[in-house]
């Protein structure tokens, strides 16, 4: 399906690009949030990623999936923004995460479970948040995650293992007490 | 293939899946798609404008090149008809280098146009 729309865009039907925006915007957004931890920045990142994808569509090699290629652009863009933008929220993680999480939970501004879960996920380091989203939300294989992130397979597995452990730890220590 | 499946199964975790699923985001900005499409249209229009200007410039460049050729050929013909063979070699050399320069420049134009088009 993606290839049909790629051909359409390349033949000059610019509006056909809407298909890609519609299909991948939310997952792209999830990946960007998992890295940058800020919805507003994440939206900008996804926009920039779509523009880059559009401009680079001509050079896209059909041997890879469009999805993986686009997610790679989002991931690179987000990490680049994380490195360069000092204003972006730089959360420090596990060592002080419990304290921060408690703060989030006791504030309980939205009073919704989803918000609490999101707060927990925002406590994870960018790489761990990213790998969890790719593996559990998008059901991407370890092999494809390695391609998207540029990490080795063993490194991906280590990060994924650590991410699961950290998520459980934060969840068990904090969320359960507040329910 | 089996190894890969095994590797992925190793990390299957319903609890984490549920948490990640529940914490899923979606872009709340309803105009998001339109904004991107608008940006893309602007980008395409800008490129088209640039291409049309480059093409116009290419036309003038080719016209200039043709004029140089005509002048040089005229000079060569004049000198050869009036038996003044002294400058013919110089003219041929100039003609040769102008041709080479012309070809290189046109190739460069092509590259620029390709960069700005699909």
Residue that wins the pLDDT comparison between A20 and A60: A20
Q: Which residues of B touch A21 (CB under 8 A)?
A: 32-33, 36-37
- In this complex, the residue of A14, A22, A136 whose CB is nearest that of residue B20 is A136
Q: B29 at the A interface (CB within 8 A)?
A: yes
- Note down pLDDT in tens along chain B; length 118 residues: 677 778 788 888 888 888 888 888 888 888 889 999 999 999 889 888 888 888 888 888 888 888 888 888 887 777 777 766 566 677 778 888 888 888 888 888 888 877 776 5
A94-178 CATH pick, 1.10.10.10, 3.40.1350.10, 3.10.20.70, 1.10.760.10 = 1.10.10.10
Pick among B14, B19, B28, B38 to test the A interface (most A CBs inside 10 A):
B19
Task: Output the six-digit token pair for A98.
Answer: 């419990």
pLDDT of residue A45 exceeding 90, the answer is yes
Tell me where in chain A the CATH 1.10.1740.10 domain(s) lie: 2-84
The secondary structure of A120-141 as a DSSP string is HHHTS-HHHHHHHIIIIIS---
Banded model confidence at residue A95, pLDDT cuts 50, 70, 90: very low
Partner residue opposite B33 with nearest CB, options A18, A113, A136: A18
Domain A2-84: assigned CATH number = 1.10.1740.10
**Quick one: which of A150, A129, A124, A10 has its CA closest to A68?**
A150
Question: Which regions of chain A carry the CATH code 1.10.10.10?
Answer: 94-178
Closest CA to A45 of A59, A34, A56: A34
Question: Would an 8 Å CB–CB cutoff place B31 in contact with chain A?
Answer: no
Q: What is the pLDDT of residue A179?
A: 54
């Amino acid at each position: 399906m993606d290839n049909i729309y790629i051909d359409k865009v390349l033949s000059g039907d610019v509006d056909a690009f809407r298909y890609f925006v519609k299909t991948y915007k939310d997952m792209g957004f999830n990946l960007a949030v998992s890295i940058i931890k800020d919805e507003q920045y994440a939206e900008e990142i996804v926009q920039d990623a779509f523009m880059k994808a559009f401009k680079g569509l001509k050079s896209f090699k059909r041997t890879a999936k469009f999805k993986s290629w686009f997610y790679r652009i989002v991931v690179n863009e987000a990490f680049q923004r994380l490195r360069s933008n000092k204003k972006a929220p730089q959360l420090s993680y596990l060592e002080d995460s419990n304290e921060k999480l408690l703060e989030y939970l006791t504030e309980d501004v939205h009073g919704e479970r989803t918000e609490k879960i999101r707060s927990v996920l925002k406590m994870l380091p960018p790489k761990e948040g990213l790998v969890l989203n790719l593996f559990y939300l998008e059901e991407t294989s370890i092999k494809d995650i390695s391609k998207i992130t540029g990490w080795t397979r063993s490194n991906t597995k280590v990060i994924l293992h650590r991410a699961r452990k950290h998520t459980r730890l934060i969840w068990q220590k904090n969320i359960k007490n507040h329910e | 293939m089996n190894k890969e499946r095994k590797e992925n199964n190793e990390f299957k975790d319903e609890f984490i899946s549920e948490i990640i699923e529940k914490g899923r985001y979606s872009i709340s900005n309803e105009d998001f798609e339109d904004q991107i499409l608008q940006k893309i249209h602007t980008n395409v229009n800008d490129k088209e404008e640039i291409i049309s200007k480059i093409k116009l410039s290419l036309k003038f460049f080719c016209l200039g090149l043709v004029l140089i050729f005509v002048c040089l050929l005229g000079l060569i013909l004049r000198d050869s008809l009036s038996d003044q063979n002294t400058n013919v070699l110089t003219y041929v050399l100039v003609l040769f280098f102008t041709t080479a320069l012309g070809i290189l420049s046109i190739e460069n134009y092509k590259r620029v146009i390709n960069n700005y088009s699909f």
